[in-house]
Amino acid sequence: MDMAAVMGVELLTEEQYLELQKLGDFDTKSSSWVKTPADMRKLGGALFGDRRFGRVFFYHNGAESYYSARGFRSSLRV
């Protein structure tokens, strides 16, 4: 979240991520963090998504988890 703020972008929500996946097949070999609802974040959780087996999946993990191959999907409003 801090890196996104420095970059001036916002992480995609689950709904926005699903819309992105309609444009093409993204995250077929890795996964990306997405914006996590505040109540889940308060409990230390975070969401990430990917595309496998022809569909989009969302998963959860601890917000402090680090995976070198996982980035985040974001949007920039101009």
Confidence of residue 76 (pLDDT cuts 50, 70, 90): confident
Which residue ranges make up each domain of the chain?
2-75
46: exposed, middle or buried (Cβ count in 10 Å: 0-12, 13-18, 19+): buried
Span 11-41, pLDDT tens digits:
999 999 999 999 999 999 999 999 999 999 8
Residue linked to tokens 């974001």: 74
